[in-house]
Chain A
Amino acid sequence: MPLILEVEAAYNAAKADPSFQRELDDYLKNYVGRPSPLWFAQRLTKALGGAKVYFKRDELNHTGAHKINSCMGQIILAKRMGKTRIIAETGAGQHGVATATVAALFGLPCTVYMGATDVARQAPNVFRMKLLGAEVKPVTSGASTLKDAMNEALRDWVANVRDTFYIIGTVAGPHPYPMMVRDFQSVIGDEAKVQLHEQEGRLPDALVAAIGGGSNAMGLFHPFLDDASVRLIGVEAAGHGLDTNQHAASLSRGRPGVLHGNRTFLLQDDDGQIIEAHSISAGLDYPGIGPEHAWLHDIGRVEYVSATDTEALDAFQLCTRTEGIIPALEPAHALAHVQKLAPTMSPEQIIIMNLCGRGDKDIFTVAEALGVTL
């Protein structure tokens, strides 16, 4: 507890200090490349026949995903706290790459914990992290995936609390992380709101985003929570199907519990043992979900739906061919739902989908799923 209380106090102090936000804004603009464009996906809109579909293009950020928004905020905080070593957990490797990137930028040593299973299936990202100077530690405990990497990062942190800052990748973990990561990711929704106003002069009718831990969705949704006319839709990974035991749909098929310092919906068995999640997208492969999503689910403000591996693969191909954008498999889940939703809406209505990552990292997985040998 003392270590997370220290982070909370430091974060509250940083939030109250205008120079912190100025420094973050400067890095986001000149290093990350924000604001990311809001793109009217004209051919996709035509192909689906219905609501106008906009993409919030966070895949164009440096490192190719939204993860760096929060890494940048957290490492500036780490520097303010005088921490000299960075650790992180990663699943697909996007958060690990983003963390290794900011650690290189700030000249801090960085250790990334990654499940051994993920190390094997995400070799390009492992090499990227190493090129960036990070040490990648394969985790072989438990099921050797994301949740085990998070366990191992927490173990490292308690052993090295005095000099180490833990950069968590999603809106989960002990307080203040869910709040802090949400705040840093809210730049996505803040920008989208302004950009749509410039392009269309109004609010969107629906926002759609994929959910693993839930950071990209929270970043897009949060600035719109008080706009009651905007439907907010989170898309969980249904893997092989919700009625199989091979999915990552913590809200649809999990129940409340406590893991990694937060109380939220978890995939677990009758004895409270955590069950492995499955998704074709390693970034959605987490058996929990950020606690604020659990709350937004309970109060009914956000609708939570799901898309299967197959639906995501179809959407992935639709996106590449109609828009010339290779999306990551994570936002391909969001697009799979947009495919269902847009035709049910009128051409005057507007959907913004968070295109939160690019798909270069996924081409091997997709090739395998499509039966192509590279």
Chain B
Amino acid sequence: MSRIAARFATLKAEGRGALIPFLEAWDPDPATSMDILRGMPAAGADLIEIGCPFTDPMADGPTVQLAGRRALNAGATMAHTLAMVREFRTENNEIPVILMGYLNPILSYGTTRFCTDAAAAGVDGLIIVDLPSEEADLMTADAAKNGLDIIRLVAPTTDDARLPLVLAGSSGFVYYVSITGITGTRTASGAELAEAIPRIRKFTDLPIAVGFGVRTPAQAAEAARTADGAVVASALIDNLAASLDANGKAAPNSVRIVLDQIRELADAVRSARK
């Protein structure tokens, strides 16, 4: 069983949803980013999502855009992101790690080599924001061969006619983009989620995680209870960014601020029993 499937099975047995915190690789520098990653499991992360920096992150709001810019300024490359995961795996072999990124750096790396190297580094799943189902063949075979899940985005605009096509290429879990729009800008209401999640469940048995607009512990708890997991990204990066000095350098407490926030989110998610 893959790490992702195993983790969701465990959580189901515990009767709760997953907290999936996000960090942008190398934001604002490799050491700080690595320390946040290392601290995430103990702070209460159930799965971890790592953003691969890209110059043109079309689906991301200002917060993640700036995180990517800081990372690229620090010299981040796809190889560096994979190296981070490889290093992390020397001390944690259980928690699922998902890479989220855009297609062009993967194409540039080479899809076959990328899937091989990502799996070898200890990556469990891929979210490729600008790879539509129609073009998914580009990655499917290489990902499957290397045991990597392809996690697809489902949006409020993904209607019942399109859902089967999107879900056909999905594995691991389904990522529900809870708003029409970009990351970190708006928040879906509990009522919207209560309507959307059962609609998707009619088409799939895969776990569903909710992202884009989950910011507070209460929102994370609600998303994790209604669906099977909550992804929190911009709210964490906002606090990380606020801790940086005028030159964008990490402060002594930058790592702790982010991990404390993850602890609060995790407490809320863990107390929201299904």
Contact = CB atoms under 8 A, between A and B. Distances in A.
Are A and B associated in one complex?
yes
Interface of A: 1-3, 141-142, 147-148, 151, 154-155, 158-162, 256-261, 266, 268, 270-274
B164 interface: no
Contact of B105 (A147, A148, A273): A273
B104 A159 contact: no
B159 A272 contact: no
B110 to A, nearest CB: 10
Nearest to A5: B162
Given A159-B182, A161-B180, A270 B108 contact: yes
Contacts of B185: 159
B103 interface: yes
B133 interface: yes
Taking each of B72, B79, B105, B179, which has the highest tally of chain A beta carbons within 10 Å of its own beta carbon?
A: B105
B181 A159 contact: yes
Contacts of A1: 132-134, 158, 162
A65 to B, nearest CB: 26
A207 B189 CA distance: 57
Contacts of B157: 2-3, 161
8 contacts: A2-B155, A2-B157, A155-B58, A155-B182, A158-B59, A257-B104, A271-B77, A273-B55
Contacts of B77: 271
Contacts of A2: 155, 157-159, 162
Interface of B: 54-59, 61-62, 65, 69, 72, 77-79, 103-109, 130, 132-134, 155, 157-159, 162, 179-182, 185-186
Nearest 5 CB-CB pairings of A with B: A272-B108, A159-B181, A272-B105, A271-B77, A272-B104
Chain B facing A: main interface SS: loop
A160 B179 CA distance: 11
A160 B186 CA distance: 12
Nearest to A140: B62
Contact of B72 (A3, A151, A158, A273): A273
Nearest to A1: B132
A266 B132 CA distance: 20
Given A1-B134, A2-B159, A271-B77, A155 B104 contact: no
Contact of A258 (B130, B134, B159, B181): B130
B107 A257 contact: yes
B181 A268 contact: no
B182 to A, nearest CB: 5
A268 B180 contact: no
Given A147-B56, A257-B108, A260-B58, 9 more contacts: A2-B158, A141-B62, A142-B69, A155-B181, A159-B181, A258-B104, A258-B107, A271-B108, A271-B109
B64 to A, nearest CB: 11
A354 B132 CA distance: 36
A169 B158 CA distance: 27
Contacts of A270: 108
Given A147-B56, A258-B107, A272-B108, A141 B159 contact: no
A272 B107 contact: yes
Task: Output the residue of A158, A161, A271 with the most chain B CB within 10 A.
Answer: A271
A158 B182 contact: yes
A2 B154 CA distance: 11
Nearest to A256: B107
A273 B186 CA distance: 28
A274 B132 CA distance: 20
B32 to A, nearest CB: 21
Nearest to A153: B58
Contacts of A154: 58
- Name, among A148, A260, A272, the residue most crowded by chain B CB atoms within 10 Å (CB to CB): A272
A270 B159 CA distance: 38
Given A159-B185, A257-B108, A258-B103, A141 B65 contact: yes
A274 B55 contact: yes
B61 A155 contact: yes
Contacts of B130: 258, 261
A218 B216 CA distance: 50
A111 to B, nearest CB: 15
A151 B105 contact: no
B80 to A, nearest CB: 9
A201 to B, nearest CB: 47
Given A2-B159, A159-B185, A151 B108 contact: no
A272 B61 CA distance: 21
A274 B61 contact: no
A142 B104 contact: no
Contacts of A261: 130
Contacts of B181: 155, 158-159
Contacts of A274: 55-56, 104
Contacts of B79: 271
Contacts of A3: 157
A272 B106 contact: yes
Nearest to B183: A155
Contacts of B61: 155
A266 B57 CA distance: 16
Nearest to B65: A141
Contacts of B107: 256-258, 272
Given A159-B180, A273-B72, A151 B103 contact: no
